[in-house]
Amino acid sequence: MSIVRALLLALAAFAGLTALFLGLIVLTDGAGSGLAALLPTVAAGAAVALRRSRRRSRAARLVPFLPVLAAGALAATVCVPVSPTARQYPPDLPFVATEHWNLPTGSRVAVYHYPPSPGTAAHAVPFVYLNGGPVRGISLMDHRFLQRLAAQGYDVYTYEQAGGGRSDLLPMDQYSITRSVRDLGAVLERVGRADVLGFSSGGVVLTNALADPAVAARVHRAVIAEPGPMDGPTARITGQKGQPSARDLAPAMSGPRSTTTPRYAVAFGLMRLGLLSPGSGLVGQAEGENAFTAADLGSDTASAYCAGDAHRIPVENSAENFAFNPAASLRVEETVKESPSLAPQLKLSQVPAMLMIAECSSQVRQWETAVLDADPAIRRTQYMPGVGHHLWNGLDGNDERAAAVITAFLQDAPAPLPDHPTRAEIPAFLADHK
């Protein structure tokens, strides 16, 4: 019984010290790569162990220190970087040059240009693509889709937001939805008045840009595809989603995960729970971006596909090209949640716009319909059947369909699909749980 009691006491001491360490990580916001939590934890454990050891025989005096050593060793794995702490950028792509533009906002962004294919009738208005994320590299799947548009005569530009992909990092306190809009304005000032396609969080940036007269003046036409919440009031909506996605049906994504390492499991987990700030001293944003892998996204990738596609989800990217800045992404999301209602400014928009929504959308429907309701300049809505959040995904005819919808709107041609839902149809659309 004494052995069982000793074992239980040791386990309790280990658990208590681990809990103390995690609590101090939160209280200190991970200061000093976690050392501000580790040192007091070890000191407190050693003090208690020293007191307990005085009542023991000489042979047993080291026993109380064993859980301290075990807890200290585990805590130390949270404090020691496993990935490089200086940013390691993805290698250049073999099929498109990576340009770096120094924007007047202070951002230095990676830009990719796909000129109209030779022999095609070139369109006079440039085309700019804003990818999702936020603060994520542009996937190979997206690059292929942009090449498709260039083959149809569009002069295509796209760039990775500051902190993502091959773009330079910003100080953490400079990431915001406002900065993203200002960066878009700076890119458009250089490219010229352009048609802009914003997908997912890129759609959020575009929606906010349409509410900013200075930036909106540089947008010729806007395509808002599968947007997230556009502002704080919208972000607080917890409504319905589209038809079932493959989130809980697809096989687990293969490949290494940073979250199998205690350091990143603790850091990313506490950030996601809101217990660590994106600018936490535990893991710097460069190290976090180096460590984060595509497999860490887990079911988020599967949620971008319809349930029927669960066992044929395509590979969206390569490990070499994948880049995601989780801390900066959370910071941008926080600024969206903290922002006031965009509706009053958006109601003044005069930029012709189109909304694209997916049948199996993993976005909250009210995030999408809120944009439709607030922006009187949205001329058509295209409900994309048989596809999830990632509207162009290489499956079946989804790329062709998405391209046809986009190009028809940009050329002011008849819509390939019914204009649905219209602004008046929003209540019925939500009631039908489409």
- What are 36-75's pLDDT values in tens digits? 999 999 898 888 877 776 666 565 666 677 888 888 899 9
pLDDT tens, residue by residue, 135-153: 999 999 999 999 999 999 9
Domain count, the chain: 2
Task: State the Cα–Cα distance between residues 80 and 89, nearest whole angstrom.
Answer: 22
For residue 12, the model assigns a pLDDT of: 84
Across all residues in the chain, what is the average pLDDT?
93
Q: Is 278 within 8 Å of 331 (Cβ atoms)?
A: yes
Question: Is 21 part of a structural domain of the chain?
Answer: yes
Claim to verify: residue 356 and residue 229 sit in the same structural domain: yes
Claim to verify: residue 195 and residue 330 sit in the same structural domain: yes
Claim to verify: residue 17 and residue 109 sit in the same structural domain: no
Calculate mean pLDDT across residues 205-212.
98
Kindly write down the DSSP assignment for every residue of 221-290, as one continuous string: EEEEES----SHHHHT-----SS-BSTTTSPPPPS--GGGSHHHHHHHHHHHTTSS-TT-SSS-HHHHHH
Question: Is 294 part of a structural domain of the chain?
Answer: no
3-state secondary structure of 215: helix
Kindly state the helix (H) or strand (E) to which residue 158 belongs, with its residue range: strand 156-160
Kindly state the helix (H) or strand (E) to which residue 332 belongs, with its residue range: helix 326-338
Q: Which domain holds residue 226?
A: 99-249+303-431
Half-sphere exposure for 374 (CA within 13 Å, toward CB):
21
Kindly write down the DSSP assignment for every residue of 22-33, as one continuous string: HHHHHHHTTGGG
Task: State the Cα–Cα distance between residues 200 and 194, nearest whole angstrom.
Answer: 19
Task: State the Cα–Cα distance between residues 226 and 66, nearest whole angstrom.
Answer: 54
- How many whole angstroms from its chain centre is CA 379? 28
Residue of higher predicted confidence among 230 and 44: 230
Structure confidence at residue 1 as a pLDDT band (50, 70, 90): very low
Claim to verify: residue 68 and residue 8 sit in the same structural domain: yes
Question: Is 280 part of a structural domain of the chain?
Answer: no
Question: Is 181 part of a structural domain of the chain?
Answer: yes
pLDDT tens, residue by residue, 98-147: 999 999 999 999 999 999 999 898 999 999 999 999 999 999 999 999 99
Claim to verify: residue 215 and residue 358 sit in the same structural domain: yes
Question: Is 281 part of a structural domain of the chain?
Answer: no
pLDDT tens, residue by residue, 351-401: 999 999 999 999 999 999 999 999 999 999 999 999 999 999 999 999 999
For residue 177, the model assigns a pLDDT of: 98
- Tokens linked to 386: 């048989």
Claim to verify: residue 385 and residue 245 sit in the same structural domain: yes
Q: What separation, in Å, do the N-terminal and C-terminal C-alpha atoms of the chain show?
A: 62
Cis? peptide before 421, omega within 30° of 0: yes
Question: Is 293 part of a structural domain of the chain?
Answer: no
- Tokens linked to 434: 């489409």
Task: State the Cα–Cα distance between residues 136 and 326, nearest whole angstrom.
Answer: 9
pLDDT for 15 beyond 60: yes
Claim to verify: residue 119 and residue 199 sit in the same structural domain: yes
Claim to verify: residue 69 and residue 192 sit in the same structural domain: no
Calculate mean pLDDT across residues 342-359.
97
What are the Cα distances from residue 305, in Å, to 85, 239, 253, 260, 320? 34, 19, 14, 26, 23
Largest separation between any pair of C-alpha atoms in the chain: 91
For residue 58, the model assigns a pLDDT of: 61
Task: State the Cα–Cα distance between residues 20 and 39, nearest whole angstrom.
Answer: 11
Q: In terms of Cα–Cα distance, which of 154, 130, 136 is closest to 225?
A: 130
Q: Is 203 within 8 Å of 361 (Cβ atoms)?
A: no
pLDDT tens, residue by residue, 266-300: 999 999 999 999 999 999 999 999 999 999 987 78
Claim to verify: residue 307 and residue 361 sit in the same structural domain: yes
Question: Is 282 part of a structural domain of the chain?
Answer: no
